[in-house]
Amino acid sequence: MMSIESSGEQPGVVCPGCGGSDIGMAQVRSAFFHEDRLVVVEDIPALVCAGCNEQFYDDQTVVWLDLLRGAGFPTERARDELRVPVFSFRDCLMTEAET
Ligand SMILES: [Zn+2]
């Protein structure tokens, strides 16, 4: 199970994945590519389906994410920074060929 904080069902919301209506709220973290940058947004209020674990956002959250993207995910509004390792699949193939 995922460690999500559930606060009850959301009436009238249907899962786009399986059509189920047992939908709860959770705070999720998601990564977005914006031009050449990778940005992470935390504490996104997401709707989570109890049936298939599909995560989706309500209209208001989508608008808010669009606004943030439209602003170019301004660094001065970021709470924190992550260093992320970058891998190339090409390296995997080369390692495979050497052995
Ligand atoms: Zn579902």
The residue segments making up the domain with residue 70 are 23-98
Distance 56 CA to ligand 1 centre (A): 10
CATH number, position 43: 3.10.20
Distance 16 CA to ligand 1 centre (A): 7
Residue 29 lies in a domain: yes
What domain count does the chain have? 1
Residue 12 lies in a domain: no
- pLDDT interval class at 3 (50, 70, 90): very low
The mean per-residue pLDDT over the stretch 44-66 comes to: 94
Residue 54 lies in a domain: yes
Residue bearing the bigger pLDDT, 7 or 64? 64
Percent over 70 (pLDDT), the chain: 85
Please tell me the predicted confidence (pLDDT) of residue 33: 92
Three-class DSSP category at 23:
strand
Distance 10 CA to ligand 1 centre (A): 13
The radius of gyration of the chain's CA atoms, rounded to the nearest angstrom, is 18
Distance 53 CA to ligand 1 centre (A): 6
Between CA 64 and CA 50 the distance in angstroms is 24
